[in-house]
Amino acid sequence: MRRKLVAILPAILAAVSYCGVAAAQELTTVRFVLDWKFEGQQAQFTAPVEDGTFKKMGLNVQIDRGQGSADTVAKVASGAYDMGHADTYAMIRFNAANPNTPLISVAIVQDASAVGIVALRSKGIATPQDLIGKKLYSPATEVGRQLFPIFALQNKIDGSQIQWNTVSPDLRDAMLARKEADAVTSNTVTTIMNLGAVGIPESELQVFHYAKYGVPLYGTSLVTTRAFAEKNPEVVRNVIRGVAHGLNVMISDPDKAMASVKKRDPLLNDNVEKQRMRRTMRDSLITENVLTNGFSSVDKARLETTLKQTAPAFNIPVPALDAVYTDKYLPPRADLKILPWKWQ
């Protein structure tokens, strides 16, 4: 009997190995690109990878850092990635310029936009009009720069009188810290945190959130092509489930959430990035609407209002609501509940 077992052992091991490979092959790979580099707030996407949530749903989600929302939407539209995390209005502008390869938002991630302008008070900037004649630094593809015309329109600023300077994403905040820039467009949380890390307190900054200056913008979305969503509806639904879960991990276990991001960039400062995570939760992710109604609870009237504001600033036709956002792929509301959370 023992000899027979020894004789068939190689076959048994081969079968076990094959089953393991087969099981691994059953996972559906999703190529996912972020809107920006790995920072604390990106734990919403990395946590469900590291704690096995996506894997339990049959997904192998491969996450890469982004280079700005405009770049992200272009990469998803090209097919280089299946899904991405990008500013909703950057997607709208892309769709208008690329009608043959439009994207669709399948979930609103940020219920309120953190996009805006961070300026130095020492440069005499206290109101939006004080930006006239000032030097603003930004990457050409950065969403705050792309959305500046909306802010300018609502606040009666002649955009031609802004001195735009194009810099790489990694240099933008450094230029403000060195006071070579008067102001920058950005995700305001990112810039405030980056400047704080080099000794410039928020008290020295003037922050203009676009959403607080006449444009009730939503923030980022999960974006994809209609073709991918229609071919893989359950994949899209499970990615949304996973991201909602990731937000709850940020609420319930910020250390675990932070560890999932730091695995991708070990040089991150835990204290700085946890603070960045919390600020993003406060300013964008966890509004009263989200606490009451759950993740991606979209007020379509509000979204339509912002589309009507955005389109003239971009010099594009107002897009139809169903060309921008669909709730078709949302999982049941029970899967989108968010844990109680309060800013501390």
- 178 within some domain: yes
Same domain, 310 and 277: yes
Same domain, 145 and 274: no
Listed residue (118, 81, 68, 41) closest to 275, CA to CA: 41
**Among residues 193, 212, 231, which one ends one of the domains?**
212
State the helix-helix crossing angle for 300-314 and 88-97, rounded to 10 degrees.
50
- 199 within some domain: yes
Token digits for 247? 């937000």
Same domain, 331 and 253: yes
Same domain, 105 and 237: yes
Alpha carbons 102 and 86: distance in angstroms, whole number:
14
- 19 within some domain: no
Same domain, 321 and 247: yes
- 12 within some domain: no
- Return the SS3 of 29: strand
- Kindly state the average pLDDT of the residues 207-216: 89
CATH code where residue 184 lies: 3.40.190.10
Between residues 75 and 19, the one the model is more confident about:
75
Of 66-70, 83-87, 114-118, 129-133, the range with the lowest mean pLDDT is 66-70
**Among residues 212, 237, 268, which one ends one of the domains?**
212
**In terms of residue numbers, what domain contains 144?**
115-212
Pairing relationship of beta strands 135-138 and 163-166 according to DSSP bridges: parallel
Per-residue pLDDT tens over the stretch 106-133: 999 999 999 899 999 999 999 999 999 9
Between residues 227 and 140, the one the model is more confident about:
227
- Kindly state the average pLDDT of the residues 78-88: 97
- 315 within some domain: yes
Same domain, 103 and 119: no
b/e map 198-214, b = 16+ CB within 10 Å? eebeeeebbbbbbbeee
Same domain, 137 and 103: no
- 41 within some domain: yes
Q: What is the pLDDT of residue 25?
A: 55
Q: What is the pLDDT of residue 297?
A: 97
Split into its structural domains, the chain has a count of 2
| Whether pLDDT at 6 is above 70 | no
Q: What is the pLDDT of residue 30?
A: 98
| Whether pLDDT at 13 is above 60 | no
Q: What is the pLDDT of residue 153?
A: 87
pTM score, whole prediction: 0.83
If 0-12 CB within 10 Å is exposed, 13-18 middle and 19+ buried, where does residue 147 land?
buried
Same domain, 201 and 279: no
Q: What is the pLDDT of residue 141?
A: 75
**Among residues 212, 242, 272, which one ends one of the domains?**
212
Per-residue pLDDT tens over the stretch 152-178: 988 999 999 999 999 998 899 999 999
| Whether pLDDT at 59 is above 60 | yes
Per-residue pLDDT tens over the stretch 313-332: 788 999 999 999 999 999 99
